[in-house]
Amino acid sequence: MPDYSNPIMSASDDVDDTDPALPVSVLDCAIGRGVKASDGDLFTGADIEAVGLPFFGGCQCCAASIACYNAYPSQTGYLRCRDCIGEIGFPTTAAFEEWCKANDANPVDDEDDYRTTNDVGSN
Ligand SMILES: [Zn+2]
């Protein structure tokens, strides 16, 4: 029987994965746009990109590699990771869509997708 008496993280470590202040993730926004899973319950990169959002990206601040479930759109127009999003994420998917409209960013079917750090320096 495995020994669980020495876990890597103790119960006293302050880990809160249910922080209600977390902004919406790219996945939340994709769901808000009605993304359809092409493979059962799993969303593929193509599914996410079909609604005009990136599946993979890089954090604007720390360059961490992030995917739709842990990438947060920020009001800079770039993605940020959970550690770097701070107060500049979007509280709701509706707020994100409003920002996109106001900034002419990433309307669905437009070629100008929401930017990621992968785009920095391109062109
Ligand atoms: Zn970061």
Taking only the tens place, the pLDDT of each residue in 27-43 is 999 999 999 998 888 89
Taking only the tens place, the pLDDT of each residue in 44-83 is 999 999 999 999 999 999 999 999 999 999 999 999 999 9
Ligand 1 centroid distance, CA of 82 (Å)? 7
Separation of CA 5 from chain center: 35
CA gap 41, 54 in Å, rounded: 19
Ligand 1 centroid distance, CA of 118 (Å)? 14
Ligand 1 centroid distance, CA of 27 (Å)? 17
Ligand 1 centroid distance, CA of 56 (Å)? 14
Cβ atoms of 34 and 52 within 8 Å: the answer is: no
Amino acid occupying residue 58: G
Residues in the chain: 123
Ligand 1 centroid distance, CA of 30 (Å)? 21
Ligand 1 centroid distance, CA of 62 (Å)? 4
Ligand 1 centroid distance, CA of 6 (Å)? 30
Domain ranges of the chain: 26-117
Ligand 1 centroid distance, CA of 3 (Å)? 35
DSSP state of 42: B
Q: In terms of pTM, does the model score above 0.75?
A: no
Examine the pLDDT at 87 and tell me if it is beyond 60.
yes
To the nearest whole percent, how much of the chain has pLDDT over 90?
A: 60
Interior/surface letters 47-66, b for 16+ CB within 10 angstroms, e for the rest: bbbbbbbbbbbbbbbeebeb
Examine the pLDDT at 121 and tell me if it is beyond 50.
no
State the number of CA atoms in the 13 A half-sphere of 37 facing the CB: 7
Per-residue confidence (pLDDT) for residue 83, from 0 to 100: 95
122: its two tokens: 């391109």
